Amino acid sequence: MTKAYYHFKIGKELSGKKDFLKAIMHLEKAKDIEPNKGSIRESLARAYYNCGFYSSAKKHFKKAVDIDVTNDFAHYGLSLCFVKEGNIDKARGHIRIALSMKPKSKIYKKLAKKFNFQ
């Protein structure tokens, strides 16, 4: 097991236990080792978002999208971050992209309906 994978795995486990600050520490180490892994960036963004660090979350969701434009959850995460900033136009664009990739997603539909992004 590589060091990056070790830290990623521990970070995911800690996130699953809602211990997001400790998760961030491990996920940051994984990101430092493998900065162009979309799965690491997405997990890191989720942990930051769940801690209320929306600017950091947005940065990592953007990087996850840069790495893989088909990462529907990263688009959804960006939408959430833009909603927090009050940038509804950008939020609308990203939730539409996420919905186009996974039209049956209940969480994507819920966000789109809540903010009338249909």
Per-residue pLDDT tens digits for 33-46: 999 999 999 999 99
2 torsion bin: left (phi>0), alpha (psi -120 to 50), beta (else): beta
Cβ-contact 11, 26 below 8 angstroms = yes
pTM, entire model: 0.94
Domains plus CATH for the chain? 1-57 (1.25.40), 69-118 (no CATH)
Q: What pLDDT score was predicted for residue 118?
A: 62
Which residue, 116, 73, 100, 103, is CA-closest to 81? 73
**Predicted confidence (pLDDT) at residue 76 exceeds the cutoff of 90:** yes
- Beta-carbon-side half-sphere exposure of residue 100 (alpha carbons within 13 Å): 10
